[in-house]
Structure 1
Amino acid sequence: MPTEGRRHIRWFRNTAPYINAHRGKTFVLMLGGEAARDANFPNIIHDIALLNSLGIRLVILVGARPQIAQRLQAAGLTQHIHNGVRITDADSIVHVKDAVGAIRIQVEAMLSMGLPNSPMQGSRIQVASGNNIAAQPIGVVDGVDHQLTGRIRRVDRKAISAQLDAGAIVLLSPLGYSPTGEVFNLSLDDIAVHTAAAIEADKLILFGEADGITGENGELLRQCSVGEAQGMALANEEQAGLLATASRACLSGVSRCQIISYKDDCALLEELFTHDGSGTLIASDSYEQSRVASIDDIGGILELIEPLEQSGVLLKRSRELLEAEIRQFRILERDGRIIACAALYPFDEDNCGELACIVTDPEYRGGERGLRLLNELEREARRQGLDAVFVLTTQTAHWFIEQGFEESTRKALPGQRNALYNLQRNSKVLFKKLTV
């Protein structure tokens, strides 16, 4: 088989954990009207069809803001905006329904494709849409009557869940309906947050023009917590809006929100089926979890430390020894994968502890993950009442010195540890006093 073909096979193998993890989960996808008119929109729909075939429960929200603006302009109607909210009068709502209906039909048609030699070949997708969003008028705000611009009153969780249980893709539009038979123009962001929270979605995926959220220096932020997101001041209005929507969703109970690009052909699949994704993750909890290791982590730790054992940087640890010492280890886990580890061995009689096996996966070096684990184990040592920690190292002495360690001698080691000192390795001994 050609090299390129084997590369695809290996990639497909690597997606297996993600396929298994995502199957049966519920994702809400929000695409604005800008995404719907982008040349890459058909590719996104094809990828959505693929996700459906993999057993992922999908709710799609597609906006129509630029399409509405275009129709209003063509009709010679003036757009009235108050605090960023469109005022929808009786004349405007006709064009709102026209734009929203046209996009809904377009998406339904694209998801109905099944032509040979196309990404949709063989697909049989049921699309469900309807009056799943109950709405009421915003009313008069700051003396301005918003007329047929509304706010969400209720999301029909049972109806959406039933449609998802039947294997359908649920398609929602930025419209809501009232018991009096009125149609209201709603905020797409509000529908995304309320729907994801109501159906207890596992993910809310937001599509923007850029790859994700960029930092002060223009770098892509791979992840941030809700607290960090709320503290960001972004000059880009679209990014600020997406970040605010993601934060609201997380605070409403959605554990993870992801912001990706609607212009990137591979963004959706890359975000869901690779380790680092393509955009920015906003999580209600830390994306990279630090915790005490358990017996189930032994395989992952061995895989992490084996290359350094083979190169002589670390002493080789057998599986049996690791099993006996597993509670001394702390790991950093990213999406179920162990990407860093470190261990603390206390010597209570000498009031000190040894820090050992501080290892970070080569793919994740440069993010101060080793320092994070070092700091956590130092805090644990203080909690145990230890006065100092020490390390034995052959190649990373400078790094430890930068973290406040000072070079010492074998004689400073606890007697028990000194007796096990490997003269052949001739490791440097470094100590650090712990302050309260």
Structure 2
Amino acid sequence: MEQKNHYVNWFRASSPYIHAHRNKTFVVAFGGEAVLADDFQDHVHDFALLNSLGIRLVLVHGIRPQIDQRLKDGLPPRFHKHLRITDGPALQCVKEAAGLVRVEIEALLSLGLANSPMAGAKIKVASGNFVTAKPLGVIDGIDYCHTGEVRRIDSEAIHQQLDQDNVVLISPIGYSPSGEIFNLSAEQVATAVAIALKAEKLIFLTEQNCVSPDSGEQLQQLTSSEVSGLLERHPDLPETISQPLRAARHACQSGIARVHLINRFQNGALLLELFTRDGIGTLISSSPFEELRPATLNDIGGILELIKPLEQQGILAKRSREKIEMEIGDYLIIERDGLVIGCIALHAHLQRHFGVLACLAVHPEYQRSARANRLLDYACRKAKQLHLKTLFVLSTQTAHWFIERGFTASDVDSLPEPLKALYNPQRNSKVLCKDLE
């Protein structure tokens, strides 16, 4: 029964993300290594599930190991600065590898066996000449031959396929107006496609976790500027993670709101990243994923949801939606990916130069990361900017927390008259104050 309850709770918790992702365009990129892996069918099942949930899905696959396999019988693979030099024999291997991988993925997406995750899926897959390319040319005296770079993405044609509920499958191959074929970087193709489509998300299934070289811990979130700093400080990062990081930075700088780096070896990685609050991968964005800011009217629902349990426990005094709406300019919040996870109110009495802190709350899952301290510090800084001289707090159960942060115990008689008139003897709140001068 406990297992069933866990499943029900998880399903309910995922519903906001199901609603948020419906009809959004996601570009998912993965290397040829993922296609060769025994568990690739599991990823295909997850692709099918995303499609069934109304997500407009574009898949971009790599083919590097497949090309290398075909070159073993002839010339060894040739690279310069981690880019393949695609001469005539290598180009033939590129075409063979791209065709084979594309057909294999289409076959897996076409499965519909009963008693399997693909039962009843009936997925339609569309491929085509969506990518126009040009030669990379000669760099450092090295002729890259048929290695190219993206020149243009036919976004209109891709959108037409997505509008018909098709999954679009794109190989790292580009074509020139003169009919030439070019071998492209899968990361570059995926990034260019996401930018051209104005996709909501670009997702890379990577060969390893994105970890901090300093601490060895996985990096959960980065801004594009932090990615630049990481790459500058650690130029020796393995290509399996530095290439997706560079692609993610470029995507964010070009208007993609969210880029995810997910270790493909984690079972169900795509679902855990997209349908749980904190995910399991590394999120990269142009702006911080978590932001402390003044509240707006759009945040009222989130604030009410956050403080409701505390009101029921008697920790906070009850506040109506109307009261919060009237005082919304006094509230500060911490927003994490659209969810209000913390709030505090600073009710300022400018003429008498005092303020009242109220409604300090942090979501239970985020209470061990000093977010309450951040809210309090922010409110104190704002109070000083307003030239307030004293801050008051009325608390029933958290008095010691405020005392540990510089507040002192006081009594009701010390309260200014406007605040004394609002004091509720039935709650018998402790009175705390802090001088700001």
Q: Would you call these one fold, judging by a TM-score over 0.5?
A: yes
What letter corresponds to residue 316 of structure 2 in structure 1? Answer: L
Q: Which position in structure 1 is the counterpart of 2:313?
A: 311
The answer (yes or no) to whether the contact 1:129–1:171 under 8 Å persists in 2 is yes
Q: Which whole-Å deviations, capped at 9, do the CAs of 1:168-223 have from their partners, x for residues lacking one?
A: 11111111111222111111111111111011000001111234444632322222
The answer (yes or no) to whether the contact 1:38–1:263 under 8 Å persists in 2 is no
Alignment of 1:13-412 (within 5 A): 13-73=12-72, 75-214=73-212, 216-232=214-230, 233-234=233-234, 236-237=237-238, 238-397=240-399, 399-400=401-402, 403=405, 405-407=406-408, 409-410=410-411
Q: Which range moved further: 294-303 or 10-19?
A: 294-303
The answer (yes or no) to whether the contact 2:392–2:431 under 8 Å persists in 1 is no
C-alpha separation between the residues in 2 aligned to 1:153 and 1:26?
Answer: 22
Q: Which whole-Å deviations, capped at 9, do the CAs of 1:377-431 have from their partners, x for residues lacking one?
A: 334334433344343445545544565x342534654332244445663514131
C-alpha separation between the residues in 1 aligned to 2:12 and 2:314?
Answer: 31
What letter corresponds to residue 168 of structure 2 in structure 1? Answer: V
Q: Which whole-Å deviations, capped at 9, do the CAs of 1:260-309 have from their partners, x for residues lacking one?
A: 12111211111111111121111122222444334454443233223333
Matched residue SS, 2:327:
helix
C-alpha separation between the residues in 1 aligned to 2:308 and 2:342?
Answer: 13
What letter corresponds to residue 44 of structure 1 in structure 2? Answer: H
Q: Which range moved further: 54-63 or 311-320?
A: 311-320
The answer (yes or no) to whether the contact 2:399–2:430 under 8 Å persists in 1 is no
Matched residue SS, 2:245:
helix
Match of 2:419 among 411, 417, 420: 417
Q: CA RMSD in A?
A: 2.3
The answer (yes or no) to whether the contact 1:347–1:414 under 8 Å persists in 2 is no
The answer (yes or no) to whether the contact 1:406–1:431 under 8 Å persists in 2 is yes
Matched residue SS, 1:349:
coil
What letter corresponds to residue 280 of structure 1 in structure 2? Answer: T
Distance 1:13 1:215, change over 3 A: farther
C-alpha separation between the residues in 2 aligned to 1:381 and 1:70?
Answer: 66
Per-residue deviation, 1:325: 2.7
C-alpha separation between the residues in 2 aligned to 1:255 and 1:395?
Answer: 40
The answer (yes or no) to whether the contact 1:27–1:56 under 8 Å persists in 2 is yes
Per-residue deviation, 1:109: 0.5
Q: Which range moved further: 358-367 or 405-414?
A: 405-414
Distance 1:426 1:158, change over 3 A: closer
C-alpha separation between the residues in 2 aligned to 1:12 and 1:275?
Answer: 12
Q: Which position in structure 1 is the counterpart of 2:434?
A: 431
C-alpha separation between the residues in 2 aligned to 1:6 and 1:176?
Answer: 49
C-alpha separation between the residues in 1 aligned to 2:52 and 2:210?
Answer: 26
**Which residues of structure 1 form unaligned runs of 5+?**
none
Per-residue deviation, 1:367: 2.5
C-alpha separation between the residues in 2 aligned to 1:397 and 1:218?
Answer: 38
Distance 1:401 1:71, change over 3 A: farther
Distance 1:426 1:53, change over 3 A: closer
Counting aligned pairs with the same residue, the percent is: 47
Per-residue deviation, 1:30: 0.5
C-alpha separation between the residues in 2 aligned to 1:97 and 1:292?
Answer: 55
C-alpha separation between the residues in 1 aligned to 2:323 and 2:166?
Answer: 51
Distance 1:399 1:253, change over 3 A: same
Distance 1:151 1:8, change over 3 A: same
**Which residues of structure 2 form unaligned runs of 5+?**
none
Q: Which range moved further: 150-159 or 304-313?
A: 304-313
